Structure 1
Amino acid sequence: MSRLRSLSPATDEVLGEYEIAGPEAVLAAVARARAAASWWADQPRKGHLLRWKREIAGRSDELAELIAAETGKPRGDALLEIMLAVEHLDWAARHAAKILGRRRVGSGMLAADQGAALEYRPLGVVGVIGPWNYPVYTPLGSVSYALAAGNAVVFKPSEFTPGVGQWLADAWSAAVPSQPVLQVVLGAGETGAALATSGVDKVAFTGSAATARKVMAACARTLTPIVVEGGGKDAMIVAADADLDAAARAAVFGGFGNAGQTCAGVERVYCVRGVYDDFLARVTALTKEVTRDAYGPMTIPTQAEVVRSHIKDALSAGGRAVVGGAESIQEPFVSPVVLAEVPADSRAVTEETFGPVLVVNPVGDLDEAVRLANATSYGLAASIFSADQAAARAVARRLRTGAVSINGVLGFAGIPALPFGGVGDSGFGRIHGADGLREFSRAQSVTWRRFAAPIDLMRLDRNPSALERARKLFRLRHAR
């Protein structure tokens, strides 16, 4: 059996070795999940999910150490990730029954003889393919809601964070030992491809848009539906009346936190020209205080080269390095980089950098800022800084993104009731909130005869006079 090695991104130390799940092992896991799903769908799930929550929360220090080791991020950031994930798990556990449960709906005049109800039923088995940058928070956005909706889950974590994925599955087994409702399969692309074609009832994928297209193609072979979160090129807009200190702090946090490896962070800033120099000076001062130890190394070895290429392209196109530059890359670490006045067609503006690089460009007004923010194939998240809340909300509605934070960044990440997802290359479908629960459910409509219809049209030998009465009522109702 092949082995998967987990390595420290900072030192290349071997952190653990795991068996790789080949196609047969994936199919076996899905078969076990199929049997467990029948049991799980009929369970009062809240108590089981809350036991898993307590298992994770009670051992959060242990899990944080593992996250920090496998990703390189600071232990405090790892703990924050766990805290956010647990809040979502708690919300899903407590709200699923009400959101997905049976409810009566109106029948309307034409079907007045019918009673009608709607409820959401589990899909069956959900395959979750998770990322490495937030190996707990992001996949649990699918796993928690899929479980709460009554599905069994087969989870393939990133090959760069297999230990975290195995830990989560083991914590489930400790909390709910009776059935394999949550299983983990470890491996790289081949394992993910096997899961996509295994006959699961839905796939939830987080990763690059390029890989998402491959996963979609694999799912298409079996008409397996998929929900995708495919990254972002997230913009911040700074208005002339913004609190520049707050905006600068948020830009630095959103741009450099987790070494810039945050799909919904900040990669581009568009600042109104009247306050541009002041804002850029504040960002520069704060950036110079940030050390790479505050956010850790690039988690995967190839990402530093992507960052290097974006910096070089921006500078060769006429942009200027305000802090750092290509020399900031000392693999596996990248020191903070601030680029200014970068041309709109530069790769640092158009492609996801996924590193600690912040592009800050001036704009004439908010209209130009919105136009430039939307000039991307991505559409995941954005942020707006303005003292005028009404104006900021108006700008938010014009942005082609799935989420917007006003006078903050990533505010939506900690609110379980809000759905999360994007448009374009950022994907489709939603996790979190009521939409996230329904994402992993199927709507089932049920009707029943309450009494004999006064005008019975649902028969082949319908009475012509009944049709004429129905026609008159129809015109009276809809043609006036």
Structure 2
Amino acid sequence: MTISVRNEQAEAGTFEVRSPGNGDLVGSFPMHTDEDVAATVARARVAADWWAGLTFRERAERLDRFRGIIARRLAQLAGIMHEETGKPHSDAVLEASLSLDHIAWAAKHAPKVLGRRRAGVSLLTANQAASVEYRPLGVIGVIGPWNYPVFTPLGSIVYALAAGNAVVFKPSEFTPGTGSWLVDAFAQVVPEHPVFQLITGDGSTGAALCASGVNKMAFTGSTTTAKKVMASCAETLTPIVAECGGTDALLVDSDADLDAAADAAAWAGMANAGQSCIGTERVYVHTDVHDAFLEKLVTVARGQRAGTDPDATIGPITLPSQIETIRRHINDVLRRGGRAVLGGADAIDGSLVQPCVLTDVPEDSPAVTEETFGPMLTVSRVGDMDEAVKRTNATTYGLGAAVFSKKRGTEIADRLRCGMVAVNAVFNYPQLPSLPFGGVGDSGFGRIHGPDGLREFSFARSTARQRFTPPLALTTFGRTAKTDSLATKIMTLLHGRH
């Protein structure tokens, strides 16, 4: 299991990271203190002024070169991810690859989304020239997750950088090596100032970053931790964008392509060992196709195997404490009359969890109401899609969802309360840099990716320039009764008929 070890080294201010697959030492990293974090943020403030002073094109050139380094060294980066998280090397390569389009999109579109543009005026303000632009906030703190240690944090980092901010990045204590690689790669293309810096450590280091007075925090992790981050940031009135977990559902209508739906459900629920914030955990299937779908799903899932060898399609569970959550969810379902049509209690062996498919699961079971974060799916029969929609929305979470239907996919999707929805596919919306990514409710708030992601790390700056003296001077103590009367008549003519 991946663990942070306190020993003689830790006494000297470091911690160790070990592979979840074999327990081998991956590396030793600094346990940064409050003072270290404060000094890092201070350096970032100086760097932020310089970085913001560059043009959009100059920043884009640096981001494009950063993208080039990642592309050329994908195998190396994936190797570190594999060692730290245990995920299959091919999955690590895929994850890092998907980040490249986002870097390119943010660099290219920042001028159009954030640059100065004209704003409209009215009849009474025709003498004004109005414009709006979005300016960088300054220093952005990013607390990244361990499950997707490249793709997820870069969704905040590169959009913040493209918007003109400096970034202080605190990766998970389980994946500091991946974070270090990214920061070192960026420093190769921006050697002048520490625009993108790394701090490492456990929760105490993250807490120090929250209290450091950065201009905004971007957090990815559990809802419970997000509340702590938000409370800490409130002390300095630091805004946050929070991308938390979910219990995402996949809905299968009676006319769905069952082969595609089964393959998608298996991937969305079990890839990355089920450790995906947008991973499918609940499947609601129309009664007319339930049995056929379940058979196909089990066939696909049975063909997958969790292991640490190169042929395994599923890696180990990275976070040791998650094993007990998975075990508790499975045991609760079985105790309450549910069935394991694949896997079950004996699917757990150390840090490995083999694919599990559970049916006849009560809707108030923790396997339905809580995030499992393991390679496990609950499959429930529903009489129609109205019932499926109702069950899907009966949660405090609201991150993502997927709908499989040949005729009514979009119609059904429009009724789901979530920040993102896929139709006849899974995991497609995070691949599209133009789409905002985020949830509602306990799944968080704010957005990364897309135009919203660029604006998330900026503030709107409005400028109104008077081009000539107005015929009706309204904002002056010299305003006359005649002016008031004329202004009233004009406004009545413009708006009174409505």
Report if aligned partners of 1:55, 1:175 keep a CA contact under 8 Å in 2: no
Cα offset for 1:216?
0.2
Q: CA deviation at 1:139?
A: 0.3
Moved more, 11-20 or 235-244: 11-20
Q: Are 1:336 and 2:355 counterparts? A: yes
Give the number of equivalent residue pairs.
Answer: 478
Alignment of 1:315-330 (within 5 A): 315-330=334-349
Alignment partner of 2:109 out of 76, 95, 102? 95
Larger mean Cα displacement after TM superposition, 94-103 or 198-207: 94-103
Is 2:65 the counterpart of 1:46?
no
Q: CA offset at residue 87 of structure 1?
A: 1.2
Does structure 1 residue 34 correspond to structure 2 residue 26?
Answer: no
Q: Show the 5 A alignment for 1:51-450.
A: 51-292=65-306, 293-388=312-407, 391-450=408-467
Shift of 1:318: 2.1
Percentage identity across paired residues of the two chains: 55
Instruction: Please state if 1:4 is matched with 2:18.
Output: no
Give the unaligned 5+ runs of structure 2.
1-11, 307-311
What is the distance in 1 between the residues matched to 2:82 and 2:269?
A: 19
Q: Is the 8 A contact 1:127 1:153 kept in 2?
A: yes
- Of the structure 1 ranges 216-225 and 315-324, higher mean CA displacement relative to structure 2 is found in 315-324
Deviation, 1:99, is: 1.1
Residue 313 of structure 1 deviates from its aligned partner by 1.0
Amino acid at match of 1:213: K
Q: Offset of 1:327 from its aligned partner? A: 0.7
- Conserved 8 A contact 1:117-1:447: yes
Shift of 1:341: 1.6
Q: In structure 1, which of residues 428, 451, 466 is the aligned counterpart of residue 468 of structure 2?
A: 451
- What CA distance in whole angstroms lies between the structure 2 residues aligned with 1:65 and 1:333? 20
For residues 194 and 475 of structure 1, the distance between their equivalents in structure 2, rounded to whole angstroms, comes to 56
Deviation at 1:59, TM superposition (A): 1.1
- Offset of residue 110 of structure 1: 2.6
The amino acid across from 1:299 in the alignment is T
Task: Kindly indicate whether residue 36 of structure 2 is the aligned counterpart of residue 25 of structure 1.
Answer: yes
Q: Once the 2 structures are TM-superposed, how far is the Cα of residue 357 of structure 1 from its aligned partner?
A: 0.5
Q: Is the 8 A contact 1:270 1:363 kept in 2?
A: yes
Aligned to 2:477: 460
Distance 2:107 2:398 in 1: 29
> After TM superposition, which residue ranges in structure 1, 4 or more long, deviate above 2 angstroms?
none
Query: How far is the alpha carbon of 1:331 from its aligned partner?
Result: 1.4
CA distance in 2, matches of 1:164, 1:66: 6
Which residue does the alignment assign to 2:6? Answer: none
1:434 and 1:4 mapped to 2: Cα distance? Answer: 38
Aligned equivalents of 2:257, 2:241: Cα separation in 1:
37
Unmatched 5+ stretches in structure 1: none
CA distance in 2, matches of 1:96, 1:295: 37
Note the alpha carbon deviations across 1:215-265, whole angstroms, 9 max, x for none. 000000000000000111100000000000000000000010000000001
1:291-319 deviation per Cα after TM superposition (whole angstroms, max 9, x unaligned): 11211000111111110001111122221
After alignment, is 218-227 or 297-306 more displaced? 297-306
Report which stretch shifted further, 155-164 or 393-402: 393-402
Q: Partners in 2 of 1:409 and 1:387 — Cα distance?
A: 15
TM, length-normalised to structure 1: 0.99
Summarize deviations over 1:15-41 as a string: whole Å, max 9, x none. 100111110000000000000000000
Q: Give TM-score scaled by structure 2 length.
A: 0.95
- The separation in 2 between residues aligned to 1:452 and 1:174, in whole angstroms, is 53
